Chain A
Amino acid sequence: MGDIVLVEGSNQLNVGMVPIPPPLADLSGVVTDASTGVPLSGVLVIINGLTTTTNVLGEYMFLGLSPGSYTITFEKEGYETIVM
């Protein structure tokens, strides 16, 4: 047996659909000096055109990205640029 019963004549059923939020991905990390291990601030981080810079703790974060493949770049003067 179903949950609704149709009677003779016209039956009206209006439905409110609840959207399912799309899956989201966040990306965060810490950038350090490879030779000293010291966190690096001011590192430019680029991911698919979005940019941010690391804070004094070397931290960066991107929120609300779609899961999937990305190219990410880390740049800072005096250091080798990393593209991955």
Chain B
Amino acid sequence: MGDIFLVEGNNQLNIALIPIAAEEEALIYESMSTSTTGIFSLGQTTMVKVQVRNPNDVAVEEVVLISGIGFSELTDNPITITIGGNSVNVARFNIIYDAIGTYTIYCQSLSTTVEIVPGWVDPGLGGVFLVGPGEFYELRDPYGTVYGTAEVTPSSCCFYGITFGGQSCRNAGTFDYDVWVGYLRNNAAEPDAIYSGEYQWSQMLGHYYNWQASGLSLDAFKAAHPNWDILGGMEMWFLSRIPAYCPFTYS
């Protein structure tokens, strides 16, 4: 027996069908990238982009959250983006790295790995060392890439000059190095101490050209420190800043 009973004559039955809500497909987190890839400097700010696709016909709002360590966010995290129907939108996070190491940033099923290095790193030349005229030193980054050979040359105006394969990185714009100089001194207070304090000229010697232009001579230095036994030579630290893309060539 059914649930309706028809009587003789006309019977009227009007029905309203209930539509089944269209099943929403999950959003697709398509890609995660950084504005620059690979190695970042400590304190460097970069952008992390997360691309999300909405496969549904109706626009949706999505809260995009990144996670990880080694960085701090400069902007809101999470970020809410609106993704149109069957469209793609990108959430952009501006972050600054505040710790050295290799870190992975996550977002949903995506991840990207970055290596954070200090803004300045010892390229492996051994730190402080003595150089003299005619000596050559390779200038390398921490990953073994040789960017040039530093030649210590006598200078008419200065103590020593340095050239890198006869080419200048001054205009390269993407490479920088620092030269710290000091002198061996020998006095009663600090015998044989390596002095690298007062004459850590890193700030004024951001480029060796400036150093040459500084015109500091050994005689002037001796005059300023008459009680020091200047052993001669110059101590230098070559500190390369990452990323370093100096277009050195060799002949």
Contacts and interface: CB of A to CB of B under 8 A. Distances in A.
Contacts, number: 89
A5 B121 CA distance: 138
Interface stretch (B5-13, B139-147, B155-163): B5-13
A69 B13 contact: no
Interface string A17-42: 00000011111111111110100100
Contacts of B3: 69, 71, 84
Given A24-B8, A26-B10, A29-B14, A71 B19 contact: no
> Could you say which interface size class chain B belongs to?
20 to 34
B11 A26 contact: yes
Contacts of B6: 25, 27, 65-70
Nearest to A40: B17
> Could you say which interface size class chain A belongs to?
20 to 34
Interface in B1-27: 1-20
A56 B20 CA distance: 21
A3 interface: no
A62 to B, nearest CB: 9
A35 B15 CA distance: 12
A71 B17 contact: no
B152 to A, nearest CB: 82
Interface in A42-84: 43, 48, 65-72, 74, 76, 78-80, 82, 84
Interface of B: 1-20
26 contacts: A25-B6, A25-B8, A25-B9, A26-B11, A28-B10, A28-B11, A29-B13, A31-B17, A32-B14, A32-B15, A35-B19, A65-B6, A67-B5, A68-B6, A69-B3, A69-B5, A71-B2, A72-B4, A76-B17, A78-B19, A79-B17, A79-B18, A79-B20, A80-B17, A80-B19, A84-B3
